[in-house]
Structure 1
Amino acid sequence: MNVMRGAAAYGRGAGAYARVGVESGVMSASPHQLIVMLFDGAQASIRAARIHMQAGSVAEKGKAISRALDIVNNGLLAALDAERGGEIAERLASLYDYIARLLLAANLHDDEASLTQAEKLLDDVASAWREIGGSPAQER
């Protein structure tokens, strides 16, 4: 029984340590780095969803897709500045909406192809976002 309590305590401690690491990273990140973190989180959730889909773990697949949807809708989409971003922000909003629909279809129909397409689209935007990381215009 003591071993189980020790393992559980270790797990809680490791989880707390990881949360502090993530929170510290978020607190010290630039706005650009925060968006990169959102892309990374969405892509990690999609990869997890694929693994759960292939394993037949319906509940875990749903949780992973929900996390990805939350990041796309409440992170990436919400971060767009329509006033300053103009047409680019509009197009990204449409793309994020399409990605969200792909994720919903993947969840509803166990459609790995939709997951793959959503992941590819996010990867394309994330790659472009990373490339502009050092540009002076991004710092404004």
Structure 2
Amino acid sequence: MAYASALLRDPARTYREIDLAGRTAVADGPALVQLLYEELIAALRTSAWAAENGRYAVKSERVTRATAILFALENGLDFERGGEVSTTLARIYAGARRRVVDASIGHSGAPFRHVADELDEIAQAWKQARAA
């Protein structure tokens, strides 16, 4: 019953979670990486908004989500086949994770936006590579 009332309190969030779960279930490796980037960037941008608007519970939840996605992206790297690209991405993800955690104790949205913008560049390159 508590779960049902939680769903009714925020139906938009419930829809987004169901939509993401559905898209994730049918995504192959490259499509899953694209979804992870989209979710990561959205979580970082929401963290920025929440920090600036005093919505600390939202910020905390989104920071947790962003760091989990960064771990997932790093864990999915294939160092044997990816070589230097995988090594570089691992460094980028680890650095982004550190900056997000450091920013989580502050009240500025700027660090979250900066990390989101940097990762969005990688996401766009990934999207173009998939389309080619």
Using the size of structure 2 for normalisation, the TM-score is 0.84
Distance 1:19 1:45, change over 3 A: closer
Task: Say which structure is richer in helix.
Answer: 1
Moved over 4 A (4+): 14-20
CA shift, 1:134, in A, is: 3.0
SS in 2 for 1:109: coil
Higher relative contact order (CA 8 A, sep 6+): 2
What residue ranges of structure 1 are gaps of 5+ in the alignment?
Answer: 1-6, 136-140
Q: Which residue of 1 aligns with 2:105?
A: 108
Q: Which residue of 1 aligns with 2:83?
A: 86
SS in 1 for 2:104: helix
8 Å CA contact 2:52–2:108 kept in 1: the answer is no
RMSD: 2.5
Q: Which residue of 2 aligns with 1:41?
A: 39
Q: Which residue of 2 aligns with 1:117?
A: 114
Give 1 or 2 for the bigger CA radius of gyration.
Answer: 1
CA shift, 1:63, in A, is: 1.3
SS in 1 for 2:105: helix
8 Å CA contact 2:48–2:109 kept in 1: the answer is yes
> In the TM superposition, what whole-angstrom CA distance separates every residue of 1:43-99 from its partner, at most 9, and x where no partner exists?
1111111111111122221111111111111x2111101111111000000000110
Distance 1:93 1:26, change over 3 A: same
8 Å CA contact 2:47–2:109 kept in 1: the answer is no
CA distance in 2, matches of 1:123, 1:71: 14
Q: Which residue of 2 aligns with 1:3?
A: none
